[in-house]
Structure 1
Amino acid sequence: MTATAFTIRPATSERFDDVATILGPRNPDSAVCWCLTYRLPSQQNRALSARERAQTARELCARPIPPGILAYDGGTVVGWCGVAPRAELHAFTHGRTIPHVDDLPVWAVWCFRVRGGHRGRGVAQALLEGAVEHARGHGAPAVEGYPVDNGDRKVDTTMAYVGTRGMFEHAGFTKAADTTSTLNRFPRVLMRLPLR
């Protein structure tokens, strides 16, 4: 368990303002990811305007299975984690760099975002543990992640959004496969945690 207690909540439509705090830009006309890059086909993703991205994220938060979870320190939102059935994520169902280990309908954890001023306090670890519980609560048979295998080398903050192998190992995940994906010159590995 994490050293600091953070409250983890699903990113539902009632919490969309908090999703926007973590994922959205200060200027609503700036195009940022909104955690859609892995979810949508690249052509569709590129075609969205900045405001359409926000609206797409809002619509995802209104679905029965929200697109991720949020971490709170008291009443302050401090982090985001994208977690959903892998089948909903275009990059992982159609891409060639992250393999399919088997036909199990796994859930995927693909993105962490920790608010500035709150890094280095265990927020990402708490989010990963919360993502596992969120997936378990929705009946997932297993959860996968695709972190960088950085050893003890430092990962650039902007490229750490996929997590690190050590972080996933700390949460009980084990390496299930190599990938051909790299990020910030680090190889990414497929980590899996069975839930049944």
Structure 2
Amino acid sequence: MMEYHIDGYFFRPLQKETWPAFAQLFAPNGACDGCWCMWWKQNTKEYSEGRGQNNRKAMMQLVLDDTDLGLLAFSPQGEVCGWIAVAPRSNYKRLQNSRTLKPIDEQPVWSITCFFINRNFRGMGLAGKLVKAALSFVKEKGGSIVEAYPTVTEDGRVSSSSIYSGVPQVFERLGFEKVGEGGKRWIMRYYLK
């Protein structure tokens, strides 16, 4: 199993073996409102009908199908503490059908769409560590471009309900560049070497 180490934390892909840790991190509400990290993967109707246990089952099926979904973060003590969704853009229905987050070009990209961090680990720089691990994961999978879609507002504030996609500052610190805008989101890119 792939594993990445950053500042004492370790990161593993979501697979059958790590599903129990994912379920523990997301329980009891599927991270937020029964999402189970399915919002970007489904259209509006599918998502609304699937909230809760149906979304959990849909995510589990993707795991069983060996789909690339993202990485889990574990503390130095081995406690699951965070999640980052990263997969080829083509795996995300909402991106495929988005009027505001259209592809910049025809290049194949991997997309970072979601973070979930256990509240006991928030404010400790874990989002940046998750992004670093995701970049290593994508590189190992043969990807060369990673996109992110952080939420921005005119006053620079992001509501807690919108922070799941990250904030621009986390990506900027790691070398992502703004390449476009889509509604209240930036489109940011990182080119792997």
Q: For the superposition of Structure 1 and Structure 2, which TM-score range results when normalised by the shorter chain?
A: 0.7 to 0.9
1:26-69 deviation line (CA, Å, top 9, x unaligned): 59xx9610110111122222222522211111122223343111
**Within the alignment, does 1:192 sit opposite 2:173 as a pair?**
no
Distance 1:132 1:50 in 2: 30
Q: Match for 1:60 among 46, 59, 62?
A: 62
Aligned twin of 2:11: 8
Aligned twin of 1:163: 166
Aligned ranges 1:1-196 → 2 under 5 Å: 4-25=7-28, 32-48=34-50, 50-73=52-75, 74-149=77-152, 153-180=156-183, 182=184, 188-196=185-193
Distance 1:144 1:93 in 2: 14
Q: CA deviation at 1:151?
A: 8.2
Distance 1:62 1:125 in 2: 28
Q: CA deviation at 1:20?
A: 1.2
Cα contact 1:98–1:190 (8 A) shared by 2: yes
Cα contact 2:152–2:158 (8 A) shared by 1: no
CA shift in 2, pair 1:31/1:148, >3 Å: closer
Q: Which moved more, 1:35-44 or 1:109-118?
A: 35-44
Cα contact 2:6–2:133 (8 A) shared by 1: no
1:108-160 deviation line (CA, Å, top 9, x unaligned): 00101100111011111111111111111111120000012358844333321
- CA RMSD in angstroms comes to 2.3
- Aligned-pair identity in percent equals 28
Cα contact 1:23–1:35 (8 A) shared by 2: no
Aligned residue pairs total 187
Q: Which moved more, 1:63-72 or 1:6-15?
A: 63-72
Structure 1 counterpart SS, 2:39: coil
Q: Which amino acid aligns with 1:12?
A: Q
Query: Could you state the TM-score of these two structures normalised by the residue count of structure 2?
Result: 0.88
Distance 1:111 1:150 in 2: 18
Q: Which amino acid aligns with 2:133?
A: G
1:147-196 deviation line (CA, Å, top 9, x unaligned): 1235884433332111111100111110111212x2xxxxx110001124
Query: Could you state the TM-score of these two structures normalised by the residue count of structure 1?
Result: 0.86
